Amino acid sequence: MSDIATRYRTRADIFAAKIAAVEPGRWSDPSPCEEWTARDVVGHIIDMHAVMLRPLGRSLSPAPSVAQDPLAAFTAARADVEALLDDPATAERKVETPTGNVSVEQHIDQVVSADMVLHGWDLSRATGQDDTIDPAEVEAMWPHVQYIPDEMRIPGAFGPGVVVLGPEVEVPDDAPLQHRLLGLFGRDPNWSA
Q: What is the pLDDT averaged over residues 16-28?
A: 97
Q: What is the pLDDT averaged over residues 61-82?
A: 98
pLDDT at position 26: 98
Q: How many CA atoms lie within 13 A of 190 on its CB side?
A: 6
Q: pTM for the whole thing? A: 0.93
CA distances in angstroms from 57 to 24, 64, 132, 177, 186, listed in the order given: 35, 21, 36, 39, 32
Please count the structural domains in the chain.
Answer: 2
pLDDT at position 147: 80
Residue 90 and residue 148 in one domain: no
pLDDT digits (tens, 9 = 90+) for 85-94: 999 999 999 9
Residue 182 and residue 123 in one domain: no
Say how many C-beta atoms besides its own lie within 10 A of residue 125's C-beta: 26
For the chain, what is the mean pLDDT? 92
Residue 59 and residue 142 in one domain: no
* Structural domain for 65, as ranges: 3-130
Residue 122 and residue 170 in one domain: no
User: 111, 130, 149: which is the final residue of a domain?
Assistant: 130
Q: What is the pLDDT averaged over residues 178-192?
A: 94
CA–CA distance, 41 with 59 (Å, rounded to integer): 20
Q: Which of 146, 160, 109 is nearest to 5 (CA)?
A: 109
Residue 97 and residue 154 in one domain: no
Q: What is the pLDDT averaged over residues 99-120?
A: 94
Least confident window among 17-21, 24-28, 110-114, 146-150: 146-150
pLDDT digits (tens, 9 = 90+) for 136-175: 999 999 998 888 777 777 766 666 666 667 788 999 999 9
Q: What is the pLDDT averaged over residues 57-68?
A: 97
Residue 150 and residue 93 in one domain: no
Decide which of 168 and 103 is more confident.
103
% of residues, the chain, pLDDT over 90: 81
